[in-house]
Structure formats: C-alpha cells, structure tokens
Amino acid sequence: MTDTRLLMTIRPSTPKSSTLHVLEDAYFKVSINRQEHFLHIIRSDTSFVSADEARVAHQKLVSAVTPYLRFSAMVDLRKAKGNTDNDIERVIREVWFPTMMQLSPMAVIVGTAAGRLHVGRMFREHGSRGKIFLSEQEARQFLGLPWPIPP
C-alpha cells in the first residue's frame, strides 16, 4: 500500500517591515511606522534656492504627512543649514506650520543651541506644544519610542 499523505512544511512568516516611506526627495525623507504610530521626518542638507522652491517642497511634505496627523512625530533638522532668508521662513510658517502644529506629541531634533533657539521662537509664535531636543535619544524617550533603535 502506498502512503498518499501530503507532507507540508510550515515556515514561520517573514516579518514585514513596519516602516513605510511616504516621501523622499531632495529636501525631505518621510517614513511612518504603523506599528508604533510614529511619523519620522528628516530634513536633508539641501538648501532652498528660492521661496517658490521652498513652497513646492513644503506643499509636498504637507500632502505626505496629512494622513498621519494622529501619529507621534519626530522631525530631524540636524542636517539642515541655518536659514536667513525671511521669504523662505515666511513660506515655512504659512505652508508647513499649520500642519506641523497638529502633530502631537512632536519632538524636533536640532544640531545646535542656536537652532534650538530659532525653532523655539517659531514654536512660541505659533503655540506649538512640540519639544526641541539636541539628541535623538532624548527625542525618542520623550515620544515613548525604544532606544537604542531595534534592528
């Protein structure tokens, strides 16, 4: 008699990354982690040439993050160069800040004490409840995220 039973091998499913990239361009890299309800925005070191360019980039950023406003957020500005152009700062306030002010809790990481003062001033002007940090570890702890970052 021949054994006709089917032999099945069951393999554990490969864990899928819970991180999804929702925007990556010359200025911003935005990813979400659905499992942790976490939005991560990283500003590149590419400077804006004009206020119009800043407006387009921030409009794309707003479109990318709007579906995730209920997530906690970390905005990493450490690579960004200081901005002294009033027109670019005005665009950032007009286009990005209304959306950014909806993110809560929000941690912003800056690279220098001067950056901390600058972002802090902008936060006070707009009534943001976000917190500003000089280290990613402190920002992640504030948001209740693990440190060190799990592999």
pLDDT tens, position by position, for the chain (151 residues)?
Answer: 555 555 554 555 444 558 899 999 999 999 999 988 999 999 999 999 999 999 999 999 999 999 999 999 999 999 998 878 999 999 999 999 999 989 999 999 999 999 999 889 888 888 888 999 999 999 999 999 988 877 7
| Beta carbons of 116 and 132 less than 8 angstroms apart | yes
| Beta carbons of 53 and 86 less than 8 angstroms apart | no
Query: Would you kindly state where each structural domain of the chain is located, as residue ranges?
Result: 19-143
Compute φ and ψ for 116, nearest 5 degrees.
-65, -45
Q: In the CATH hierarchy, which fold is given to the domain comprising 19-143?
A: Transcription Regulator spoIIAA (3.30.750)
User: What pTM was estimated for this model as a whole?
Assistant: 0.84
